[in-house]
Structure 1
Amino acid sequence: ANGENQSRSIFTLAAVTGNIGVPGGGTGGWTTSYAMPLPTFPDLAEKPITVGIPVFKWSDAVDHGEKFTAKRDGVEGADRLHVGIKFMISYAANTIMNQHADPDRIREILADESKLETLVVIDTLMTASAKMADYILPDAMSVEQPDLVKNEDSGETGYAIYAQPAIDPPGDAKPVYEILCEILERLDPAALERFTEGHTQQEWVSQMYSEGRSEHPEYPTEEEFAQQGVIREINPDGFTVPFKDFRDDPQANPLETPSGKIEIYSEQLATMAEEWEFDPDLTGDRITALPEYVESWEGSEEAAASSEYPLQCIDHHTKGRTHSSYWEQPWIMEAHPQHVWMNPVDAEARGLSTDERIQVTSRRGAIRSLAFVTGRIAPGVISIPQGAWYSPGDDGVDDGACASTLASLNATPVAKGNTQQQIIAQVKRI
């Protein structure tokens, strides 16, 4: 619930030990950050919308967006909102229900059609989020359309993939580019021309690669690229060390802070702490100028004092899927069934062993899953592999064992981000 302070404390530790701008300094910055210099699909030159909200607050903006203010809810570009979200498009993201918090509450919010009037989901599968949509537009999968794919700042070796359709999209599915073109053709043909600039998707791929190759003639021709599929190159500037330029010459390479320096005490945050509004009912819902430890709602102190919810619950990534992608594949589920990790001390106290059916309950909801008893997790803590698909049974208990079912919609104080690692819970045998 105070994740900003945890992140700041890591950076502060690197600062006070003199480890800024050195290899392995532990600043939290990317140590690998090279992407091949190829252009991407051009963005709109002018954005008609200038007001924004933190992404985690979307469900609150549907529920009571007309009450949103800059100093309470993190509205950007305006002092307040004057209306809640009425129309929403979710593209390639199982985040409406699955990767957001408290899907039981989200179902209640979306059921009230006086709030969000229309939800459009564009996706390739009938996800938990797609089931809530008013309209579903079936997208083509990556193996069903042309594309130029490149890594984005995620390694010292950059790469690009010349994607080509291996099969045609089934049924009415089509690439999202074509979906948007057909919508614009019906709504605003002039906007269609501005959007496409007269190009098909394949023509965009060819143009973007041609522009990149004009700057780097050592790259293969498009025909050669299409034949080999992938091109790679190592960062010509060598290994990336975050903040090395700042360490070498802090005057010439100031940081993106008001002072240009490392700010352990933040005057910006001190001002926000005085001016912003916080929920008085949420323990620890406050901003600190220094990265202090702040006792928060549903933290370790509350778990230790609770007989009803004595366990801290976190979630983790599992090798069986990428976030929530591929969860629906039966043979992957067989190889990597959903298990709740718990320490032998906690399992023995509840008479549990590995593979027994259990129910995990928090103040928001409950899931059914299997126990995995292991000494590789601390006593008093359980962990659930995130990304399993939300699937409530007739009694409201989530048989999909989605970790988000247990999580709160309360946001962090600074970024108004998700707090899905802050849950207290109880486990019992089914």
Structure 2
Amino acid sequence: MSMLDKSMGRRSFLRASAGAVAAMAAYEAVGVSKAYAAAQSEADGYDKVASDAQVTSGAGQWVPIHCHQNCNQMCNNMGYVVDGVVVRQKTDDSREDSWDCPQQRSCLRGRSLRQQVYNGDRLKYPMKRKHWQPGGGENAHGELRGRDEWERISWDEALTYVTDELKRVYREYGQNAVICNGWRWAPASAMFPVIGGAVYNTETESFGCWAFQTEALGMYSWGDHPDLMMAPDKYDLPNADNIILYGCNPGWAQHTAMQSLEHAKEAGVNFVYVGPSYNITASALGARWIRVRPGTDTAFLLGVMYEMLRLDDERGNIIDWDFLAERCVGFTAETMPEDASTDENMRGYILGEYDGVPKTPEWASEICGTPVEDITWYAEMAGKDNKDMFLHSYAASRYLGAENLSQAFMTVSAMGGHFGKSGHGSAAIYTWDAGDSGYRMVSQSSNPIYGYIDALVAAPKATGPNRCIEGNSWWSSLEKGEYISTSEGPYDLGSGDDKTKLRNNTPTYHEARRMPVNPRLLFQTCSNFMQTRGDLPTAIRVMRQADTCISLEIKFSLTAQFADILLPVAAHWEGNDDESWGELCWPSAFGDGNGQKQRKDAILAWKPLIKPMYEAREEKRICREIIERMGYDPDEAYPKTNYDQWLGYFLGKRVLRDDLSAWEPMLTWTAADNAKYHADFPEQQGLMGFDEFMEKGSFVVRRSEGDRRNYVGYRDDKLGMDEDDNVTVIDPAWPRPSQSGKLEIYCQFKADNVNKTGLADEPIKPYANYFVPRRGYQETFANWDTKEKAKYPLQAYTPHYMRRAHSCYDNMPWTQEAFRNPVFMNAADAAERGIKAGDTVMCFNDFGKMLRHAQPLESMMPGTVAIPHGVHSVLDETNPDDIIDRGGSEQMLSDGTQSNYFNQVDGYNSLLIDIKKYDGEALEEDYERAPFLAAGVDAEDTPAYVADKSVVYAERR
């Protein structure tokens, strides 16, 4: 039984017409490529299919869409499918919107997804770079990568090239020559442990230094997500006096947090925002702005601690001494942990007893730029008599040298006693956990029949150990042929040493070792590392020096542009369970695992909307065939089918009853359902039928103000289930997962674990001491004492942006037109350089150059620059030794510098640059640019139902 309605015909989506031919001639007349003209002229006729009449007449059906890409929010989208084509989208309207049972609304990116699926940048069929030949050496013509032409090949030819080259490289060089140039949790990554191993990248991704010893300090991690699921939920937010948003901007990230925060504002809660710019979220909530320069947050928080001590000495009622004594260790000499190896404590350090430097507001202000009076105000606000919720994103932690930020943040919260009480809080708000935190009300059954197996654990039998290059040095290590290892595995797993010392999974490190790497074959897995891993100039050299570069991609990304063999991957909308349509396939269950990262009280439905377009194939299917051709068993990498995982995921969902008595099935499943869906899952009685769930697109728990499931972090137990679906405590709030069972303001394990790597000349302290970070504010001066400015006086950081999630969604014309690619800078800094709004400017340093349009703002701190990240590079190589990125990627401005103590952090925001007005050739708007793959692709190769970047322009008429 097909999941898709076959009562409709299989008509082509678009047909050639006299109007289309005329339009093509018009485009060609102005010098537009044939392929772009063909795609554009077809798109101009899109309204012939996409008119409202198609929907109002009931010609198709609404189907839930998997909004699958890397924002981790998983909102509800619905696609209207007519004749196998999605002609409209909408979001959740299956229920009346209410605070207790809200609609699961999509953001502007999700509602524009058709423009990504039907896009001229889609990879349509396997392709080979024209001048590349197998065997390595001169045959590769690596100097042409990124600018060569392409030729179409068959799937058999493509997979033969891939497997022959893999066998050759393993035979001649070993596993250190095979590079998994993509996320280690992507489906394709599970292939390498089975076929011979590879070198992976390990880094803290979104989390920066916040992932640094989180559980050892006594905080909580959900998997590798640090300090998560411990903030208050939406029903407790209005109980606060103050909500402090530390480096947060959910208004741009488009998380559902904004609804919860606005509800708290309506209840009278005051908001405080900490960061280098007054962002849209702070403005919407009327927040008080506490200015802190990029990467100087630890200094700011130490100044706050000093003032809290001073104010408490003067008048009391600032510090919760009882909480520090009962629930924390190491703030004073009287509360030191048993394993302490020094007599130093946090209070003594703040007062300057060990280094002669009291951490006064004046000391902090010189570093962080925060006015002294604001530091004092913040310290008073943080006092124990106020109900404060300190909520952070990870932005302030994505700097080199931010290792102690999480401990300092925790310490300020602990000094005020803001843990475990209604109206108080101290934790992260991040994507699916933002604004409504706590344990999950909809969770997965522990019965293995429903188990979801992702790429992190899918390959139990490996032919060789997988190695990981740590953090910011990915490209520079590949170029040098060696990397520094402090951990045998991923950052969140550690080396395996001394694990018995902790009752949690805190990673442990070993003495730094030099490890060889020889990048002969790079295998890209839908991750676009050239635009997401920094140090783009070095990445270009690495890609061009390799023997072979293979890329699995949905669209023609920059990483795909530098490949030799392109393997087109089906989008998550695409699948086929009907043999009459052709080859059977089912999309990867959850891509990078985002299906497990939905809201705690809601589950979103999805299923394939359309059959795979062109010759695209599902990612795991491609990898299974590679494994078979290599002579191994693909079931070792992928023991469950995508279909079984998809169905089992939904059927395994259990809902926590409002009286906390039991978990009950979310969905009803009958013998008739098993027959209909060719499955063999146990029958069960749930709260909603499976078909109803798919029709509505979501299941949402109805809650209330007095619901016992509502949550306060560090007070309630996290509730899970046993094998019989009974309620059980899976994570009691206390004791904490540290050596002492308390919050460790002094953490001996942290210091011992980190210092044994030997990376830094000066050992890190067990408490949150200040040290000068690499690529930080101090380096903007040639002479710190005289404040003589250095060559690159501006600190640039790379915020997330409305129009994309990293580099995902960035090729959609609606969002391209609505949001250009600006560089935001302080208005005075711009005026000093003769720069006005809209001017084309060059951002540059010793590593690279890129162009963007300037947007001066009064709401930026002087000396700071914000470059929204994730754009597609357009490389001007007129001078190969002086490449200019006309697309404006911030990755041109970073290098492989690693953090002071924590190799696994990327430090995306640690960029030192300058900016000048650019008077060269005007920039082309990205929404006017032809598809990147148009060059070298003939118009007749463009299938009739492709639409280019302007796929839905006609709808606006």
TM-score range, shorter chain: 0.7 to 0.9
Q: 1:237 to 1:361 in 2, by over 3 A?
A: farther
Q: 1:232 to 1:356 in 2, by over 3 A?
A: same
Task: Give the whole-Å Cα distance in 1 for the aligned partners of 2:645 and 2:488.
Answer: 43
Displacement of 1:88: 4.5
Say whether the 8 Å CA contact 1:362–1:425 is kept in structure 2. Answer: yes
Does residue 223 (structure 1) correspond to residue 691 (structure 2)? The answer is: yes
**Where does residue 758 of structure 2 map in the other structure?**
277
- Partner SS, residue 171 of structure 1: coil
Quick one: which of 321, 336, 339 aligns to 2:822? 339
Does residue 93 (structure 1) correspond to residue 580 (structure 2)? The answer is: no
**1:105-120 alignment to 2 at 5 Å?**
105-113=538-546, 117-120=547-550
Task: Give the whole-Å Cα distance in 1 for the aligned partners of 2:733 and 2:855.
Answer: 53
Quick one: which of 856, 872, 887 aligns to 1:389? 872
- Partner SS, residue 4 of structure 1: coil
Tell me, which stretches of 5 or more residues in structure 1 are unaligned?
none
Quick one: which of 552, 557, 571 aligns to 1:141? 571
Task: Output the amino acid matched with 1:68.
Answer: I
- Partner SS, residue 9 of structure 1: helix
What whole-Å deviation, never above 9, does each CA across 1:256-294 have from its counterpart, x for those lacking one?
Answer: 2222221112212322454322266xxxx8633221232
Task: Output the amino acid matched with 1:241.
Answer: V
Percent identity over paired residues: 21
**Where does residue 553 of structure 2 map in the other structure?**
123
Say whether the 8 Å CA contact 1:35–1:153 is kept in structure 2. Answer: no
TM-score, L = length of structure 2: 0.40
Does residue 398 (structure 1) correspond to residue 885 (structure 2)? The answer is: yes
Quick one: which of 743, 753, 757 aligns to 1:262? 743
Aligned-residue CA RMSD (Å) = 3.3
Q: 1:98 to 1:37 in 2, by over 3 A?
A: same
Say whether the 8 Å CA contact 2:486–2:903 is kept in structure 1. Answer: no
Displacement of 1:405: 1.6
**Where does residue 28 of structure 1 map in the other structure?**
428
- Partner SS, residue 765 of structure 2: coil
Task: Give the whole-Å Cα distance in 1 for the aligned partners of 2:549 and 2:710.
Answer: 45
Displacement of 1:53: 4.5
Say whether the 8 Å CA contact 1:56–1:100 is kept in structure 2. Answer: yes
**1:29-68 alignment to 2 at 5 Å?**
32-33=437-438, 34=440, 36-38=442-444, 39=450, 41-42=452-453, 43-44=457-458, 46=460, 48=462, 49=465, 52-64=468-480, 66=482, 68=484
**Where does residue 428 of structure 1 map in the other structure?**
916
Say whether the 8 Å CA contact 1:246–1:254 is kept in structure 2. Answer: no
Q: 1:293 to 1:152 in 2, by over 3 A?
A: farther
TM-score, L = length of structure 1: 0.85
Say whether the 8 Å CA contact 2:487–2:495 is kept in structure 1. Answer: no
Q: 1:90 to 1:234 in 2, by over 3 A?
A: farther
Deviates more, 1:420-429 or 1:321-330: 321-330
Say whether the 8 Å CA contact 2:459–2:637 is kept in structure 1. Answer: no
Q: 1:173 to 1:411 in 2, by over 3 A?
A: same
Say whether the 8 Å CA contact 1:97–1:103 is kept in structure 2. Answer: yes
Task: Give the whole-Å Cα distance in 2 for the aligned partners of 1:129 and 1:196.
Answer: 26
- Partner SS, residue 701 of structure 2: strand
- Partner SS, residue 68 of structure 1: strand
Tell me, which stretches of 5 or more residues in structure 2 are unaligned?
1-399, 445-449, 497-509, 576-585, 655-663, 667-684, 719-730, 782-787, 919-957
Say whether the 8 Å CA contact 1:320–1:332 is kept in structure 2. Answer: yes
Does residue 239 (structure 1) correspond to residue 710 (structure 2)? The answer is: yes
Q: 1:237 to 1:82 in 2, by over 3 A?
A: farther
Aligned length: 418
Say whether the 8 Å CA contact 1:163–1:229 is kept in structure 2. Answer: no
Does residue 417 (structure 1) correspond to residue 905 (structure 2)? The answer is: yes
Task: Output the amino acid matched with 2:650.
Answer: Y
**Where does residue 175 of structure 1 map in the other structure?**
618
Q: 1:160 to 1:81 in 2, by over 3 A?
A: farther
- Partner SS, residue 605 of structure 2: strand
Say whether the 8 Å CA contact 1:390–1:399 is kept in structure 2. Answer: yes
Q: 1:169 to 1:397 in 2, by over 3 A?
A: same
Which structure has the higher relative contact order (CA within 8 Å, separation 6+)?
Answer: 2
Task: Give the whole-Å Cα distance in 1 for the aligned partners of 2:603 and 2:488.
Answer: 42
Q: 1:65 to 1:242 in 2, by over 3 A?
A: farther
Task: Output the amino acid matched with 2:402.
Answer: G
Task: Output the amino acid matched with 1:62.
Answer: L
Displacement of 1:83: 3.2
Say whether the 8 Å CA contact 1:10–1:28 is kept in structure 2. Answer: no
Say whether the 8 Å CA contact 1:313–1:425 is kept in structure 2. Answer: yes
**Where does residue 856 of structure 2 map in the other structure?**
373
Task: Output the amino acid matched with 1:158.
Answer: A
Quick one: which of 77, 83, 92 aligns to 2:516? 83
Say whether the 8 Å CA contact 2:472–2:898 is kept in structure 1. Answer: yes
- Partner SS, residue 428 of structure 1: strand
- Partner SS, residue 867 of structure 2: strand
**Where does residue 159 of structure 1 map in the other structure?**
603
Does residue 185 (structure 1) correspond to residue 628 (structure 2)? The answer is: yes
Q: 1:233 to 1:98 in 2, by over 3 A?
A: same
Displacement of 1:363: 2.5
Q: 1:141 to 1:50 in 2, by over 3 A?
A: closer
Say whether the 8 Å CA contact 2:474–2:896 is kept in structure 1. Answer: no
Displacement of 1:426: 0.7
**Where does residue 415 of structure 2 map in the other structure?**
16
- Partner SS, residue 400 of structure 1: coil
Say whether the 8 Å CA contact 2:842–2:852 is kept in structure 1. Answer: yes
Task: Give the whole-Å Cα distance in 2 for the aligned partners of 1:204 and 1:300.
Answer: 48
- Partner SS, residue 181 of structure 1: helix
Task: Output the amino acid matched with 1:346.
Answer: D
Task: Give the whole-Å Cα distance in 2 for the aligned partners of 1:230 and 1:40.
Answer: 20
Task: Output the amino acid matched with 1:168.
Answer: K
